[in-house]
C-alpha cells in the first residue's frame, strides 16, 4: 500500500541513534544539549497553542521525573522523555479514572497556562508526523518501565540502562527489553460490503474493523482468519498485508490486512463482540459523513479509520 506510512504514528524518519544509547557520557551530553517531553500517567505535555511542549533537563516540572528515555535525534536535536506520574495535581484536576477517553487536562504549577497534559488519542491527528512518532515512542516505552520494574527471572528490582531501552537485573544479570504486542486488524469484505463490529464499552454507535492479538507460533495470515472466525463466525480466504501502525495504548503494533469472506453468514461470539454487521459502501460513506442513523466511524487517526477511508477511495494498492 503506497500510502501506508501516512497513517498516524507512521514512520517520520526519526533517527533513533541507537549507538548513543550504549555510551553514558554521550547520553549525558545529549541530555544537556537536548530537550525532554514530560509524560504524566500516559499523557504527553502539549502546548496551549498546539504541538508537543519540550522542557530543558533541569526544568522544575521534572523534579519528580524518573530516568529519562532517549528517543533519538530530531533534525540533530537530542530528544528525551521522562515520566512524572508521581506528581499529583491539585484536588479536582485529576485524570478521569474510567471511560473510553479522558478529556481532562492537567496543568503543572511550574508551567502555568502555557501547557497541559492531554490524552494522546485526542491530539494525535493534530501533531506533525515527527511529533506523533516521538509521543507514541515516549508513551509506550515509559509505560513499559512502569509495569516492568522487576526482573521476570528472579523477582529483584531491575535498573534502567542504555538510555531507557533496556532494564538489567543487578541480582542475576538478566536483560529485559521493551515489548510490543502484535495485533491484526482486518478489512473483511464480501462483494460491496465490509464487516464491522463493536466492543462493549465503546461510545454509542461506534463500529470498527475486527482485530485481535497474534498468538505465539502463529502467522499474521493465520491470526487474521482465526480472529474473524472466532469473533464473527466468518471463514476467510487469501490475506494481504496493507499497513501497520504503532499503537501506544499501551504498546501494540497494529498490522492491517485485507481478506475476503468465503461466506457472509454471521455468528457473533458475545464474549468477543457486542455486535457485528455487514456495511455497504453506500452506508460507509453515510457513516463518515455523519449521516448514518445507527453507526459512528472509528476514531480519527486510528488505522481502522485510515484503512476504511482508503477502501472507500479505492486506494488500497
Sequence-distant (6+) residues with CB within 8 A of 205 are: 294, 295, 296
> In this structure, what are the phi and psi dihedrals at residue 29, rounded to the nearest 5 degrees?
-70, -40
Which domains are assigned to the chain? Answer: 4-147 (no CATH), 149-178 (no CATH), 181-312 (3.90.79.10)
Q: Tens digit of pLDDT for each residue in 282-293?
A: 999 999 999 999
Enter the pTM of the model. Answer: 0.94
Residue corresponding to grid cell 515520566: 83
Q: What is the dihedral of CA 93, 39, 135, 309, to 10 degrees?
A: -30
Query: What CA–CA distance (Å, rounded) separates 112 from 108?
Result: 6
Cell representation of residue 187: 478489512
Buried b (16+ CB within 10 A) or exposed e, 243-259: bbbbbbeebbbbbbbbb
Q: Are 220 and 184 in contact (CB under 8 A)?
A: yes
Query: What CA–CA distance (Å, rounded) separates 34 from 73?
Result: 9
- Render each residue's pLDDT in the chain as its tens digit; 317 residues: 889 999 999 989 999 999 999 999 999 999 999 999 999 999 999 999 999 999 999 999 999 999 999 999 999 999 999 999 999 997 656 665 556 789 999 999 999 999 999 999 999 999 999 999 999 999 999 999 999 999 999 999 999 999 999 999 999 999 999 999 999 999 999 999 999 999 998 999 999 999 999 999 999 999 999 999 999 999 999 999 999 999 999 999 999 999 999 999 999 999 999 999 999 999 999 999 999 999 999 999 999 999 999 999 999 98
Angle between helices 281-288 and 303-312 (to 10 degrees): 120
Cell representation of residue 15: 533517527
> In this structure, what are the phi and psi dihedrals at residue 202, rounded to the nearest 5 degrees?
-70, 160
Q: What is the dihedral of CA 55, 60, 63, 69, to 10 degrees?
A: 10
Q: Are 146 and 161 in contact (CB under 8 A)?
A: no
Sequence-distant (6+) residues with CB within 8 A of 102 are: 43, 95, 96, 119
Residue corresponding to grid cell 530530531: 74
**Element (H or E) spanning 190, and its range?**
strand 181-190
Amino acid at each position: 500500500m503506497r500510502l501506508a506510512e501516512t497513517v498516524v504514528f507512521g514512520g517520520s524518519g526519526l533517527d533513533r541513534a541507537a549507538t548513543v544509547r550504549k555510551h553514558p557520557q554521550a547520553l549525558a551530553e545529549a541530555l544537556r544539549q537536548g530537550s525532554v517531553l514530560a509524560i504524566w500517567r500516559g499523557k504527553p505535555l502539549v502546548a496551549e497553542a498546539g504541538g508537543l511542549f519540550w522542557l530543558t533537563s533541569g526544568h522544575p516540572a521534572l523534579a519528580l521525573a524518573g530516568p529519562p528515555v532517549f528517543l533519538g535525534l530530531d533534525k540533530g536535536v537530542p530528544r528525551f522523555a521522562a515520566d512524572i506520574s508521581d506528581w499529583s495535581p491539585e484536588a479536582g484536576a485529576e485524570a478521569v479514572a474510567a471511560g473510553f477517553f479522558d478529556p481532562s487536562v492537567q496543568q503543572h504549577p511550574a508551567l502555568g497556562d502555557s501547557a497541559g497534559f492531554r490524552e494522546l488519542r485526542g491530539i494525535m491527528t493534530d501533531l506533525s508526523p515527527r511529533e506523533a512518532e516521538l509521543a507514541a515512542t515516549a508513551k509506550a516505552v515509559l509505560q513499559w518501565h512502569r509495569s516492568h520494574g522487576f526482573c521476570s527471572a528472579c523477582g529483584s528490582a531491575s535498573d534502567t540502562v542504555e538510555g531507557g531501552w533496556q532494564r538489567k537485573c543487578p541480582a542475576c544479570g538478566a536483560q529485559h527489553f521493551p515489548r510490543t504486542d502484535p495485533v491484526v486488524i482486518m478489512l473483511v469484505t464480501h462483494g460491496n460490503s465490509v464487516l464491522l463490529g463493536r466492543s462493549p464499552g465503546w461510545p454509542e454507535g461506534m463500529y470498527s474493523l475486527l482485530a485481535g492479538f497474534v498468538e505465539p507460533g502463529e502467522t499474521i495470515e493465520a491470526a487474521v482468519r482465526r480472529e474473524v472466525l472466532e469473533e464473527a463466525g466468518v471463514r476467510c480466504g487469501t490475506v494481504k498485508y496493507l499497513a501497520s501502525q504503532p499503537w501506544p495504548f499501551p504498546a501494540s503494533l497494529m498490522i492491517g490486512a485485507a481478506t475476503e469472506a468465503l461466506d457472509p453468514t454471521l455468528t457473533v461470539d458475545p464474549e468477543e463482540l457486542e455486535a457485528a454487521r455487514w456495511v455497504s459502501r453506500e452506508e460507509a460513506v453515510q457513516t463518515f459523513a455523519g449521516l448514518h442513523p445507527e453507526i459512528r466511524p472509528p476514531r480519527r487517526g486510528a488505522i481502522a479509520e485510515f484503512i476504511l477511508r482508503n477502501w472507500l477511495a479505492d486506494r488500497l494498492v
